[in-house]
């Protein structure tokens, strides 16, 4: 099959030869004769093939590359099957599916397939299609998922669902097996969690914190723990698994803390030493009289775009300042940013500023990031969005 070609300006092909998957509009010499979402061939100023990507004419990122090659490709069903099979093989090699039944199968550029996220929850895969190009190939992706044993697929983002004629609206199923409800109970490192993939944030659960939650379990014995921005209580369940004497889950959402309580009960029964507070976490941290040995700060993304970075840094500094001021001497602070626009260096500078203002001695014990099922394409450092520090405060 012949694909329409996009030509780059002279000297603007360096990022592509270095395998960065984004082509910005300013690098384009000649646009292709193609529609939004079409697959296009990307060529240098002399017409030499560099690879293939999804065309987005109304975006600043005009092409998102999924293949870098100087050879003509046949991009058929077998090609997409291989993409998904390679991604599945990585997870199968490194995850214990007997103990963990929820994981990310496709991580956009991290799996060389920009514009698509697929999270697996037991027998259900929850898909996010974020560009028109992946919407256009959704049927091929469904067929590819079947080759790794996934038959039930729920489409999470409503905007994409409205554009796809074969979505079984209003319930969001992309497959005929729609007898499943909007929630499922899964295991993560042997612990159980009820995940509502219809109404929950993102795809229903923050899978990217799995390894960081397991680290908390290792250090929680005998501790009184505050899980701020707790959402559905992932860190709380792990803290109790590690032997915490008391755990408090705080989130501004009443529904979220109710689900956190349900997840604790699911694992430990109603007598577990766990309390929930539906409160603004900033106010709770500032006004709390409780004394904690471990404080977890896992807020939502404060910086959704570059313009929000100044306000975001102030927010990160404030919550870390109050945590440093109030954690017990010899205590730990687990602090995170999932804002892609806040890089690791900036996040550490913000945390440094909070520590200095608190006047406490603070040491870094661990530097944390996202787990292996959220791989970072080394040519696309923007994919490393999750930053975390475990800090010892004396």
Residue 352 within a domain: yes
Residue 192 within a domain: no
Q: How far apart are CA 79 and CA 75, in angstroms?
A: 6
What is the DSSP secondary-structure string of 36-74? Answer: TT-EEEEE-TT--EEEEEEE-TTSSEEEEEEEE-SS---
Q: Give 168's DSSP letter.
A: B
Same domain, 213 and 283: yes
Residue 331 within a domain: yes
Same domain, 234 and 361: yes
Same domain, 125 and 227: no
**CATH at residue 12:** 2.30.130.10
**CATH at residue 282:** 3.40.50.150
Instruction: Give me the mean pLDDT over the 111-126 stretch.
Output: 95
Residue 126 within a domain: yes
Closest CA to 112 of 75, 166, 157: 75
Neighbours of 352 (CB within 10 A): 13
What b/e string do you get for 257-267 counting C-beta neighbours within 10 Å, with b at 16 or more? bebbbebbeeb
CB 225 within 8 A of CB 252: no
Q: What is the pLDDT, as a whole number, of residue 169?
A: 47
Q: What is the pLDDT of residues 342-352, one digit of tens each?
A: 999 999 999 99
Burial of 11 (0-12, 13-18, 19+ CB in 10 A): exposed
Q: What is the pLDDT of residues 234-247, one digit of tens each?
A: 999 999 999 999 99
Q: What is the pTM of this model?
A: 0.93
Q: Which domain holds residue 39?
A: 5-68
Same domain, 53 and 83: no
| Token pair for 27 | 């690098």
Neighbours of 86 (CB within 10 A): 12
Same domain, 298 and 254: yes
Q: What is the pLDDT, as a whole number, of residue 364?
A: 98
Q: Give 123's DSSP letter.
A: T
Same domain, 169 and 284: no
In the sheet that holds 327-337, the strands lie side by side as 274-278, 246-251, 224-228, 292-297, 327-337, 387-393, 362-368
Which has more confidence, 200 or 299?
299
Q: How far apart are CA 165 and CA 155, in angstroms?
A: 13
Query: Which residues sit opposite 64 in a β-bridge?
Result: 22, 54
Whole-number percent of the chain with pLDDT over 90: 84
Same domain, 347 and 211: yes
Q: What is the pLDDT of residues 133-165, one digit of tens each?
A: 999 999 999 999 999 999 999 888 777 767 776
Neighbours of 142 (CB within 10 A): 18
Q: How far apart are CA 352 and CA 308, in angstroms?
A: 20
The helix-helix angle for 234-241 and 254-268 (nearest 10°) equals: 30
| Token pair for 356 | 């200095």
Same domain, 298 and 334: yes
Domain count, the chain: 3
Q: What is the pLDDT, as a whole number, of residue 66?
A: 98
Mean pLDDT of the chain: 93
102 is an active site residue: no
| Catalytic choice (7, 338, 354, 355) | 338
Q: What is the pLDDT, as a whole number, of residue 329?
A: 97
């Amino acid at each position: 099959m012949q694909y329409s070609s996009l030509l780059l300006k002279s000297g603007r092909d360096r990022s592509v030869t270095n395998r960065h998957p984004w082509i910005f509009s300013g690098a384009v010499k000649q646009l292709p004769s193609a529609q939004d979402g079409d697959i296009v061939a990307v060529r240098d100023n002399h017409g030499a093939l560099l690879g293939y990507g999804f065309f987005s004419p109304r975006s600043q990122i005009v092409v998102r590359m999924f293949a870098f090659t100087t050879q003509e490709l046949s991009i058929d069903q077998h090609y997409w099957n291989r993409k998904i099979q390679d991604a599945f093989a990585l997870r199968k090699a490194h995850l214990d599916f007997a103990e963990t039944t929820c994981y990310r199968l496709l991580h956009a550029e991290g799996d060389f397939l920009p514009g698509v996220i697929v999270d697996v929850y037991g027998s259900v895969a929850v898909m996010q299609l974020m560009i028109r190009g992946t919407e256009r190939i959704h049927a091929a992706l469904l067929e590819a998922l079947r080759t790794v044993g996934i038959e039930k697929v729920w489409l999470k983002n409503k905007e994409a669902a409205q554009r796809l004629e074969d979505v079984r609206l209003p319930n969001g199923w992309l497959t005929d097996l729609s007898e499943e409800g909007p929630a499922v109970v899964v295991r993560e490192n042997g612990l159980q969690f009820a995940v509502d993939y219809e109404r929950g944030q993102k795809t229903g659960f923050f899978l990217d914190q799995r390894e960081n939650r397991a680290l908390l379990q290792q250090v929680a014995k005998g501790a009184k723990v505050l899980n701020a921005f707790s959402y559905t209580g992932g860190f709380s369940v792990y803290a109790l698994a590690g032997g915490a004497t008391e755990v408090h889950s705080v989130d501004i959402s009443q529904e979220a803390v109710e689900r956190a309580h349900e997840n604790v009960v699911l694992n430990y029964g109603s007598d577990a030493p766990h309390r929930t507070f539906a409160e603004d976490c900033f106010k709770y941290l500032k006004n709390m009289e409780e004394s904690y040995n471990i404080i977890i700060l896992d807020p939502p993304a404060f910086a959704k775009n570059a313009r929000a970075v100044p306000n975001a840094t102030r927010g990160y500094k404030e919550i870390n300042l109050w945590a440093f001021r109030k954690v017990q001497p010899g205590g730990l602070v687990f602090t995170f940013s999932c804002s892609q626009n806040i890089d690791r260096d900036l996040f550490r500078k913000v945390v440094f500023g909070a520590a200095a203002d608190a006047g406490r001695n603070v040491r870094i014990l661990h530097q944390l990031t996202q787990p292996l099922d959220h791989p970072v394409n080394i040519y696309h450092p923007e994919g490393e969005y999750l930053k975390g520090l475990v800090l010892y405060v004396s």
